[in-house]
A and B are shown apart, each in its own frame.
Chain A
Amino acid sequence: MHIEDGILSPLACGAWYGVTAAFVVPGIYEIKRRIRENLLYKPFLAMVGVAVFVISAMHFPVPVTGSCSHPCGTALAAIIVGPFATVVISTIVLFFQAVFLGHGGITTIGANTVSMGIAGGISGYLLWKILRAVKCPLWLAAGFAGLVGDLVTYMVTAFELAISLHGNVPLEKQWIIFFMGYAPTQVPLAIAEAVFTSAVLMAMLHRRPDLLSNILQEKGV
């Protein structure tokens, strides 16, 4: 989902930066509020931010398609530190990946944040909330959040490319073309991300349930 510099027009880059800013501002407020509520939120945020950096740069080969791709980790981050805080984390992560790893681009940080941080994180978080509301087990809800968060990230990236570049081709057709460039490799990785999200969340809950009180409140503990 790392769109590189030189593909999107300056207008599109500016528009995606605008959308990102609209989510980063409440994200900063969410972080400030949660730091006041819980002193341990800061190290939590640092740990999750760095984990998202590593996870979203970790390329795995998928032999079925003969190409490599990476998970995102933003659905897990959204469950743990909150959906808007995840947008802030993603923006910082994508900046460092663009500057130091040649991964993504500076002009496309807005577009990449919209796909990974906003769409991926918030879709995973919303699904998590819905599944928990219908008493779905924690591990299953986390797994589905990871799966959907990953796939939505790539669907939105394909949409960002299609809306800018479809020209005379119908938008839906161009969207499908770009998404099919990702999907065959990404589906197995999304399943792996579901397992990873579920396992990490359950490990955290097992070790320190007091740190994830918001999750356990839903569980009724």
Chain B
Amino acid sequence: MSTQVNVSSSVVEDSRFFDGFTRMMLAVLFFLLLVVFASGKYMSAHKMKGVGTDDNVNNLASVAARTEHHPFIELPGDAELGAFSVANFFCGLIVGYHWLKLFGTKPQNSTKKTADN
């Protein structure tokens, strides 16, 4: 009697804690954070407010329209940070899930017959 046992080299490779993909993503993450941090420090040192251009232009447009602009919902203080964090956390999970499904390493010789005595 024989059984099918999944022996996937890619699964073994993917189970490593610090694989190539993780290293690459961490490198990109740290690079982007470094850019954000350095830009922030520069802007802070030069007393730049760092507001969004969307907000700048919306203010400009409000003056032209003689009205007040307002978002549909205004979140106070750190609640906005919380909303962005929650949204991006789950978006990350969804993107990662589908990325793995679509672009994950294909199993090579995924089945191997072994004798089961």
A54-B95 in contact (CB<8A): yes
Whole-angstrom distance between the alpha carbons of A167 and B63 in the complex? Answer: 12
Q: State how many angstroms separate the Cβ of A160 from the closest Cβ of chain B.
A: 10
Q: How many chain-A residues does the 8 Å CB contact rule pick out?
A: 57
Do A100 and B53 form a contact, CB below 8 Å, given A44-B98, A61-B43, A105-B72? no
- Whether the Cβ atoms of B58 and A7 lie closer than 8 Å is yes
B106 CB to closest chain A CB, in angstroms?
A: 9
Residues of A within 8 A of B43 (CB): 61, 63, 66
Q: Which of A53, A68, A164 contacts B53 (CB 8 A)?
A: A68
Q: Is B107 an interface residue (CB 8 A)?
A: no
Q: Tell me the complex Cα distance, A96–B83, Å.
A: 11
Contact in complex: B72, A106 (CB < 8 Å): yes
Min CB distance A166 to B, Å, is: 8
Report B56-76 CB contacts with A as 1/0, cut-off 8 Å: 111011101101111111110
Given known pairs A5-B71, A50-B91, A102-B71, the reply for A61 and B50 (CB within 8 Å) is yes
A67 touches B50 (CB 8 A): yes
Are A7 and B65 closer than 8 Å at their CB atoms?
A: yes
- Complex alpha-carbon distance, A186 and B51, angstroms: 13
A45-89 near B? 1/0 per residue, CB < 8 Å: 011001101100101111101111110000000000000000000
Contact check, A104 vs B71: say whether CB atoms are below 8 A apart.
yes
